[in-house]
């Protein structure tokens, strides 16, 4: 694959890493975004039928080129295999067996490129009784035990968006696995398959909780523990204007600061911080106190006090928060719409400025030309509907 095949970032810790992304939604595009944000050269394989349309996921699809190829036609599959010959990694997120039927499974790709890292993203994994069953984030985190932990003690489990399975236990896990594989391949010369399952990734995120459970420091029920809203000094409280504040005053000095600002230092109900029998009374009292002032008034009162109390910001408010603004946590994307900035930060190889998502198939000719296809062959592929 030639050096001008994909948008050369020229910066970022992953500059020079080349990745092919086989379509998909959710965690696989998120993985591709993470790698592209850090300077990897990512080409996304899209369907010709959608060629020319705007990207359906304008943030997740940033930092890519889009190659529209019909993978149901042998020439289309061969075109992608030619691309893969020059890649460090492939990302795919279809049900087990799907890419094998297309002729783009691990065996076919590794035969063309023995150093390739083949990253596979599924909910249930490539093996196991549920491997071929459908599912979504909510199903995977339920099966892994995480969903059981979210929600009030007297209520039902509450889905934490699709952050725990799709993105934390999915896309980020796949990115870690792929990078581990690339490092190994550069040392050994051998590629491999990375089987990233959202159930596995969700379970990994429960490592500390299972450690607490083994020590007898965690009850296997909602709203009864230190970090699940059970502790009154670690939770969310409604304010007078309907806004909320988040309280995380776990350690002694933070707890003392919380009581000081709230005027509760001498209240006998708050002298037994770790006494679970006292928690219900403490929570009811904190609810009453926080309900007496608006959210922003409380935020000002706690500013600089070291009590670990912050306002709960909305999606619209977070990008304009002074701290987030100072760090550049959010950036202004196309059309003036805020979007998360690349992270983490690197001192010697900072991530490049993200490139906006392109229309589906926008880079088809350029990518194919980078593979060495002459203009007349590209035109023939387009006339046959193999590329878009």
Residue 10 — very low, low, confident or very high, per pLDDT cuts 50/70/90?
Answer: low
368: left (phi over 0), alpha (psi -120 to 50) or beta: alpha
Q: What is the dihedral of CA 388, 61, 179, 45, to 10 degrees?
A: -10
Average pLDDT over residues 194-217: 98
Q: Where in the chain is CATH 3.40.50.10540?
A: 18-205+338-383
Q: Would strands 89-92 and 338-340 be described as parallel, antiparallel, or unpaired?
A: unpaired
Percentage with pLDDT > 90 across the chain: 96
R_g of the chain computed on alpha carbons = 25
What local confidence, expressed as pLDDT, does residue 23 receive?
87
Dist. CA 82–CA 387, nearest whole Å: 14
Question: In the predicted model, is pLDDT for residue 3 greater than 90?
Answer: no
Beta bridge partners of 300: none
Residue 148 bears catalytic tag: no
Interval 361-381: pLDDT, tens: 999 999 999 999 999 999 999
| Predicted TM-score (pTM) of this structure | 0.94
Residue 314 — very low, low, confident or very high, per pLDDT cuts 50/70/90?
Answer: very high
What local confidence, expressed as pLDDT, does residue 19 receive?
98
Average pLDDT over residues 231-246: 98
Residue 266 bears catalytic tag: no
Handedness of CA 43, 44, 46, 50 (dihedral sign): negative
Interval 34-61: pLDDT, tens: 999 999 999 999 999 999 999 999 999 9
Segment among 1-10, 96-105, 172-181, 222-231 with least mean pLDDT: 1-10
In three state form, how does the secondary structure of the chain look? CCCCCCCCCCCCCCCCCEEEEECCCCHHHHHHHHHHHCCCEEEEEECHHHCCCCCCCCCCCCCCEEEEECCCCHHHHHHHHHHHCCCCEEEECCCCCHHHHHCCCHHHHHHHCCCCEEEEEECCCCCCCCCCCCCCHHHHHHHHCCHHHCCCCCCCCCCCCCHHHHHHHHHHHHHHHHHHHHHHHHHHCCCEEEEEEHHHHHHHHCHHHHHHHHCCCCCCCCCCCCCCCCCCCEEEEECCCCCEEEEECCCHHHHHHHHHHHCCCCCHHHCCCCCHHHHHHHHHHHHHHHCCCCHHHHHHHHCCCCCCEEECCCCCCHHHCHHHHHHCCEEECHHHCEEECCCCCCCCCCCCCCCCCCCCCCCHHHHHHHCCCCHHHHHHHHHCCCEC
Dist. CA 88–CA 114, nearest whole Å: 10
CB 279 within 8 A of CB 230: yes
Fold of 234-320: formyl-coa transferase, domain 3 (3.30.1540)
In the numeric block, which tokens belong to residue 365? 């000719």
Segment among 5-9, 175-179, 313-317 with least mean pLDDT: 5-9
Out of 78, 136, 244, 365, pick the active-site residue. Answer: 136
Dist. CA 178–CA 120, nearest whole Å: 9
Q: Where in the chain is CATH 3.30.1540.10?
A: 234-320
Dist. CA 150–CA 229, nearest whole Å: 9
Out of 166, 195, 200, 228, pick the active-site residue. Answer: 166
Dist. CA 217–CA 236, nearest whole Å: 22
Separation in Å, CA 203 to CA 71, 124, 149, 200: 34, 12, 12, 5
Dist. CA 198–CA 203, nearest whole Å: 8
CB 291 within 8 A of CB 243: no
Interval 258-305: pLDDT, tens: 999 999 999 999 999 999 999 999 999 999 999 999 999 999 999 999
CB 87 within 8 A of CB 18: yes
Dist. CA 26–CA 169, nearest whole Å: 12
303, HSE (Cβ side, Cα atoms, 13 Å): 9
- Beta-carbon neighbour count of residue 204 at 10 Å? 13
Fold of 18-205+338-383: Rossmann fold (3.40.50)
Average pLDDT over residues 302-315: 98
Average pLDDT over residues 149-162: 96
What local confidence, expressed as pLDDT, does residue 6 receive?
39
Interval 105-152: pLDDT, tens: 999 999 999 999 999 999 999 999 999 999 999 999 999 999 999 999
Residue 198 — very low, low, confident or very high, per pLDDT cuts 50/70/90?
Answer: very high
């Amino acid at each position: 694959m030639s050096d001008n095949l994909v948008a050369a970032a020229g910066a970022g810790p992953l500059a020079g890493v080349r990745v092919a992304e086989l379509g998909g939604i959710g965690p696989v595009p998120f993985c591709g975004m993470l790698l592209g944000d850090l300077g990897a050269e990512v080409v996304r394989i899209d369907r010709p039928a959608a060629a020319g349309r705007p990207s359906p996921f304008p943030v997740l699809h940033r930092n890519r080129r889009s190659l529209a190829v019909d993978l149901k036609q042998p020439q289309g599959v061969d075109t992608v295999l030619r691309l893969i010959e020059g890649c460090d990694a492939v990302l795919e997120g279809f049900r087990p067996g799907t890419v094998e039927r297309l002729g783009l499974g691990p065996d076919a790709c590794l035969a063309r490129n023995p150093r390739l890292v083949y990253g596979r993203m599924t909910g249930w994994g490539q093996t196991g009784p549920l491997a071929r069953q459908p599912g979504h984030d909510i199903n995977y985190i339920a099966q892994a035990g995480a969903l059981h932990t979210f929600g009030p003690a007297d209520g039902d489990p509450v889905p934490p968006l699709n952050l725990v399975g799709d993105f934390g236990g999915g896309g980020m896990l796949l990115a870690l696995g792929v990078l581990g594989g690339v490092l190994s391949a550069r040392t050994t010369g051998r590629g491999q398959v990375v089987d990233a399952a959202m159930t596995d990734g969700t379970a990994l995120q429960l490592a500390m909780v299972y450690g607490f459970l083994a020590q007898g420091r965690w009850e296997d029920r909602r709203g009864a523990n230190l970090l699940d809203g059970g502790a009154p000094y670690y939770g969310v409280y409604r304010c007078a204007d309907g806004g909320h504040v988040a309280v995380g005053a776990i350690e002694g000095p933070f707890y003392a600061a919380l009581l000081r600002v709230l005027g509760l230092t001498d209240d006998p109900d708050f002298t037994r911080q770790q006494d679970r029998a006292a928690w219900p009374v403490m929570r009811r009292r904190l609810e009453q106190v926080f309900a007496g002032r608006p959210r922003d008034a409380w935020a000002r009162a706690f500013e600089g006090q070291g009590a670990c109390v912050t306002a709960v910001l909305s999606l619209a408010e977070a990008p304009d928060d002074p701290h987030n603004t100072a760090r550049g946590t959010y950036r202004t994307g196309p059309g003036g719409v805020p979007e998360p900035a690349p992270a983490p930060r690197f001192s010697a190889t900072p991530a490049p400025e993200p490139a906006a998502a392109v229309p589906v198939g926008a880079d088809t000719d350029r990518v194919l030309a980078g593979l060495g296809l002459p203009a007349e062959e590209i035109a023939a592929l387009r006339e046959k509907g193999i590329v878009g």
